[in-house]
């Protein structure tokens, strides 16, 4: 069973930025997106500071966020990458299965990737991930390079939104028609 310790805090800055963006979208009534907590069972506690120092995950998480954007069901997972090559091992098969099933029900599933070394946010539609995922399953590369990504999905900061992923959804919807 997987365990959690201080390494579990990786990506917390990204999560904070997404949470604040979600608050902004909710305040403007543009979207209602919630963080899905991963249930954990504490194993070791720092009683003095009241912090969990070791725990195990009760179940595998599917996605980090779920909600609705103007009546459209949306789910996404956030990933951080410190180089230009994203390892597909950062995405788990059960996540891909859930996201595929979510889209079959009429929702939109995607990944928000933060390339931290370049300070770039990228909206990766599930259908684009599936190109890399299927390539890996057929014995090809177990990663994808930033240069393989479609430039139209880089998210440009604007209107005070920290991570304007609704722009990515809008582009995604246009390309689905």
Q: Which carries the bigger pLDDT value, residue 52 or residue 30?
A: 30
Query: Which residue blocks in 106-162 are alpha helix, DSSP H?
Result: 126-137
* pLDDT tens figures, 38-79: 666 666 777 777 776 765 555 566 899 999 999 999 999 999
3-state DSSP helix/strand/coil % of the chain, to nearest 5:
35, 35, 30
Quickly count: other Cβ atoms within 10 Å of residue 82's Cβ: 10
Span 111-115, average pLDDT: 96
Domains of the chain with bracketed CATH = 12-37+62-176 (3.40.1350.10)
Q: Which residues sit in the known binding site?
A: 62, 64, 77, 95
Q: Which residues sit in the known binding site for Mg(2+)?
A: 62, 64, 77, 95
* pLDDT tens figures, 124-141: 999 999 999 999 999 999
Average pLDDT, the chain: 87
Q: How far is CA 173 from the centre of its chain?
A: 18
Residue 1: its pLDDT value, please?
Answer: 39
Distances in Å between the Cα of 116 and the Cα atoms of 33, 65, 95 are 23, 20, 23
pLDDT-based confidence at residue 25 (cuts at 50, 70, 90): very high
Span 4-23, average pLDDT: 71
């Amino acid at each position: 069973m997987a365990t959690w310790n201080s390494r579990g805090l990786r990506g917390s800055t990204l999560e904070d930025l997404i949470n604040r963006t979600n608050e902004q979208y909710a305040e403007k009534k543009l979207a209602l997106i919630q963080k899905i907590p991963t249930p954990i069972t504490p194993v070791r506690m720092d009683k003095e500071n009241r912090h969990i120092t070791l725990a195990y995950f009760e179940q595998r998480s599917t996605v980090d966020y779920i909600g609705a954007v103007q009546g459209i069901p949306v789910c996404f997972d956030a990933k951080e990458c410190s180089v230009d090559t994203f390892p597909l091992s950062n995405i788990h098969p059960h996540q891909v299965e859930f996201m595929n099933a979510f889209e079959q029900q009429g929702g939109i599933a995607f990944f928000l990737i933060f390339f931290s070394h370049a300070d770039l946010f990228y909206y990766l539609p599930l259908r684009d991930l599936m190109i890399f995922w299927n390539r890996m399953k057929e014995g090809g590369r177990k990663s994808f390079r930033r240069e393989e990504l479609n430039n139209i999905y880089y998210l440009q900061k604007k209107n005070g939104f920290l991570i304007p992923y609704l722009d990515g959804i809008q582009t995604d919807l246009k390309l689905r028609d």
